[in-house]
Amino acid sequence: MSFIEGTRFLLVFSLVSGALIFYMMTKVREGKYLPKIRPLTGLDAIEEAIGRATEMGRPVHFSPGIGGVTDESAPQTMAAMEILSYTSDLVAQYGNEMVVSIRTPNLFPIAQEVTRQRFIAAGKPEMFKETTVQFFSSEQFAYSARCMGFITREKVAANIMIGAFWAESLLIAEAGASVGAIQVAGTANLHQIPFFVAACDYTLIGEELFAGGAYLSQDKMELGSIAAQDYLKIVSIGLVILGALAATFQYDFLHQLLVK
């Protein structure tokens, strides 16, 4: 057994990070520590949006992004599934209609299962229809064209876009704005955040998306991992400061350590 060149530090850092995450999760589960997540207005607004949509008799649209479950955007897509779970529960409670639009084929059965189980758990199994979760297209702009057409024709009142988005983000968001929908969006794709900030009412930026599930469910294990993330950020800040000082005084030790 041997290490792949240039990955030792990464492996050690990953193991230490994982250990810290588990330690914090255990601490929170045992009740020794209860972290608080600051208010995320975007997520709080989802219930308001669904309530408004129900009063207006107009449907809700949910898009979990165009990323997949097997690529580097998988964490965002999984985070979107957590928020879909919460949204489905609310839609079932309010008795409204929702359409979940899917771009990635292998996300389709996952989204179907998440939504169906939530409707059943809410005691409204009959509300889940074949049209609740729809595969729109696996082509990026065909997907966005279908979303735009659906939002415009059905006059969606709440448009929730959480997940990995690329160039289609502004197109879908503007379609929602044109019909007066309340829009809640969130992505960790840096290049799309400005478009969401410009076009949507509420935006989750970067890791707020990943904290969404913990924030909504208040599950202790998830809260513990969020707390661990904050400690990891402190470690990262420490490394950044150390690296800046090392670079300023031309010491190479940190760079050598990182590429070990």
Site for other proteins in 125-164 (CB under 8 A): 130-131, 133-135, 138-142, 144-145, 149, 153
CA–CA gap between residue 78 and residue 188 (Å, rounded):
12
Q: Shortest gap between Cβ of 249 and other proteins (angstroms)? A: 17
CA–CA gap between residue 102 and residue 31 (Å, rounded):
39
Provide the mask over 195-214, with x wherever binding to other proteins is found by CB under 8 A and - wherever it is not: x--xx-----xxx-xxx-x-
Angle at 101 between CA 58 and CA 161, to 5 degrees: 75
Instruction: Give the range of 5-13, 34-42, 49-57, 155-163 binding other proteins by CB under 8 A.
Output: 5-13
Q: Does 179 bind other proteins (CB under 8 A)?
A: no
Instruction: Give the range of 31-39, 41-49, 54-62, 165-173 binding other proteins by CB under 8 A.
Output: 165-173
Count the site residues for other proteins by CB under 8 A.
87
Site for other proteins in 26-45 (CB under 8 A): none
Site for other proteins in 40-69 (CB under 8 A): 69
- Residue placing its CB nearer to other proteins in the complex, 8 or 55: 8
Q: Shortest gap between Cβ of 54 and other proteins (angstroms)? A: 21
- Residue placing its CB nearer to other proteins in the complex, 95 or 109: 109
Instruction: Give the range of 39-47, 49-57, 113-121, 155-163 binding other proteins by CB under 8 A.
Output: 113-121
- The answer to whether 209 touches 193, Cβ cutoff 8 Å, is no
CA–CA gap between residue 249 and residue 260 (Å, rounded):
21
CA–CA gap between residue 202 and residue 192 (Å, rounded):
14
Q: Shortest gap between Cβ of 48 and other proteins (angstroms)? A: 20
- The answer to whether 156 touches 131, Cβ cutoff 8 Å, is no
Does an H or E element contain 160, and which?
strand 158-164
Binder of other proteins out of 33, 41, 52, 74 (CB under 8 A): 74
Which residues are CB-neighbours of 35 under 8 A, at least 6 positions away? 28, 223, 224, 226, 227, 230
- Residue placing its CB nearer to other proteins in the complex, 171 or 254: 171
**Of the candidates 81, 116, 101, 94, the residue with the CA atom closest to the CA atom of residue 49:** 94
